[in-house]
Amino acid sequence: MRWTRPQHGRLREMKATMWIEHQWSPQIQRDDDKSIMEEFHKIPGITRATLNKANWCRIYARVIAISDLTAIRGDNIPGHRLCGTWRAESLLEWPHIKRPPDNYWRSFRWCLRKTFATKDTPGKRTKQVSLDAPLGQWKPHERNMIHSFYQTARKLYEKNTIASPNTMYYPMIYHSPN
């Protein structure tokens, strides 16, 4: 929000604060889910430039929390989601931006390894990234994105986008680990 930057200095001079009432705030989607950028900010010594590059990629990919980026089981991030060829389907309004350059995606993957996948070793840019701790159960909230799969206690459903104009879900073979 560039229009607020000049106001920051004035507010600081007056020792005042500003808040926005009724501002939408995304909800965490799963147990053990976390905001991507909040975690990136905690990386010791991270530069503003690296954060900006990573955030550009996050916005381009249309993801808010780590659950928006992970596979349905919540234990890994498919590699194709980390190089700029994938964007989440979302009902939210996102800025229309160009695909970030490759070096921005390197920064994004680096930040993910410093926060969510510290045991993962760098590899090809399309390499799947294993999370340190798998995400838990889904919370009963409105979703940030439209997932291709939905899971119940016993079945995994795949979204069928070809069959009809109405969205249909078909069961896939899946055995719950529990």
Query: Same structural domain for residues 133 and 152?
Result: no
Cβ 66 vs Cβ 135: under 8 Å? yes
Task: Report, as an integer, the average pLDDT of 116-144.
Answer: 84
Task: Report, as an integer, the average pLDDT of 65-75.
Answer: 90
117: in domain: yes
Residue 170 pLDDT:
46
Q: How many domains does the chain have?
A: 2
Which one-letter DSSP state was computed for residue 27? Answer: P
- At a CB cut-off of 8 Å and minimum separation 6, what does 37 contact? 51, 54, 55, 58
Reply yes or no on whether the pLDDT at 22 is more than 80.
Answer: no
Q: Which domain holds residue 174?
A: 148-178
Confidence of residue 175 (pLDDT cuts 50, 70, 90): very low
* Integer Cα distance of 164 and 101 in angstroms: 37
Lowest mean pLDDT among 95-99, 110-114, 139-143: 139-143
E-strand stretches of 1-148: 76-77, 129-130
- For residues 57 and 20, which has the higher predicted lDDT (pLDDT)? 57
Lowest mean pLDDT among 15-24, 126-135, 153-162: 153-162
Query: Same structural domain for residues 49 and 67?
Result: yes
**Six-digit token string for 138:** 């889904």
Query: Same structural domain for residues 39 and 123?
Result: yes
